[in-house]
Structure 1
Amino acid sequence: MASDLQRIQSLPTWLVGRLAARGRGMVADAIAVEGLKLMHHAVLAATAEYGPITQADLGRRLAVDPKDMVGALNHLQKEGLVLRAPDPSDRRKNAVTVTPEGTAALTRCAALAKAANAELLAPLTPDEQKQLMALLTRLHEAAENPA
């Protein structure tokens, strides 16, 4: 008979959570060589995609507390990866843009994250990897758009 712990550890939520934590750790370790944390990577990617964008809009898009956003942007600006300047449409706000150095760092981080994910999925065959991604995508979409 399975113990209470074994029952918990056999739940999909437990398994997915443990795997997600392992994967996040692997990606975090990989991009650390760029001097970036996961939050920095997300802010840099969102800035590249949506910029120029106000700090407030960036925080809303990423669901990041304003003080945490300021800290992340301070780090990215200090490293020369983003630039903050008064927003032309509302000079009381700062608009954030990615620099060419930021774009290059983002490209390197994407390659590092891809390699970390490949390592995470290495125990699976290529077909199993595709199947897992399809199933995870389906679950994610269902959770985002409940019927």
Structure 2
Amino acid sequence: MTVEQTRSRRAMDRIGLLLARHGGISNARMRQALEATGLTMRQGITLMHLAETGPIGQQALMEALKVDPSALVAILNDLERDNLVERRRDPADRRRHIVAITEAGTSAVTRVDTTMSAVERELLAHLDPDEIATLHTLLARINTSVNDEACAES
């Protein structure tokens, strides 16, 4: 093996580069799969969260999803336009909006879940269940934040 091949090999063994490469590929595959459902990644995540939590205040939803208020408004506007969520005033506090998933939204979550599961099965096909569990645990511990300036997602 030449010195250049050794250097190249070491570069490809760097964990940060491996995460970036696999993360980029995973992200692209998830986005492509979600496009087939007619949703963006953020819309899919929002619907999945609403399906799990039930009706929730818009402020609490923003905090749970860790998105900027204007970004959440745009996401909810699109989802509401497509009859996937509804916003209504909280009868106890008219300044507060409650966001709820609709029946159509629940159906969309089923499609999103099926789509994401298929992508995950393909990506993780060479790992056994214990390895997948370990990978999940380790990835959850990586020091990243959605508030990182380098993370300007559209």
Normalising by the smaller structure, the TM-score range is: 0.7 to 0.9
Which residue, out of 59, 73, 76, partners 1:56?
59
State the secondary structure of the residue aligned to 2:120. helix
Deviation at 1:43, TM superposition (A): 0.7
Counterparts in 2 of 1:86-105, with a 5 A limit? 86-105=89-108
Where structure 2 has 5 or more consecutive residues not aligned to the other structure, the ranges are 144-154
Aligned identity (percent) is 32
User: How far is the alpha carbon of 1:17 from its aligned partner?
Assistant: 2.4
Q: Deviations 1:14-50 (Å, cap 9, x if unpaired)?
A: 2122112211211111111121011000111111222
**Equivalent position SS for 1:36:** coil
Residue pairs, 1:82-121, within 5 angstroms = 82-121=85-124
- Which residue matches 1:67? 70
Question: C-alpha displacement at 1:136, in angstroms?
Answer: 1.2
Considering fraction of residues, name the structure with more helix. 1
Unmatched 5+ residue regions in structure 1? none
Tell me the number of residue pairs that the alignment of Structure 1 and Structure 2 aligns: 139
Q: How does 1:128-147 map to 2 (within 5 A)?
A: 128-143=127-142
Q: Mean Cα displacement is larger for which, 13-22 or 95-104?
A: 13-22
Secondary structure at the aligned position of 2:86 is classed as strand
**Which residue identity does 1:137 align to in structure 2?**
H
Instruction: State the 4+ residue runs in structure 1 displaced beyond 2 angstroms.
Output: 5-9, 140-144
Q: What TM-score do the two structures reach when normalised by structure 2?
A: 0.82
> Do the aligned partners of 2:124 and 2:132 also contact (CA within 8 Å) in 1?
no
Give me the TM-score of the superposition, normalised by structure 1. Answer: 0.85
Change (3 A) 1:17 1:89: farther
Letter in 2 for 1:130: P
- What is the one-letter code of the residue matched to 2:69? P
For residues 9 and 91 of structure 2, the distance between their equivalents in structure 1, rounded to whole angstroms, comes to 58
TM-aligned CA deviation for residue 55 of structure 1: 1.3
2:17 to 10, 14, 18: 14
Deviation at 1:9, TM superposition (A): 2.4
Aligned to 2:50: 47
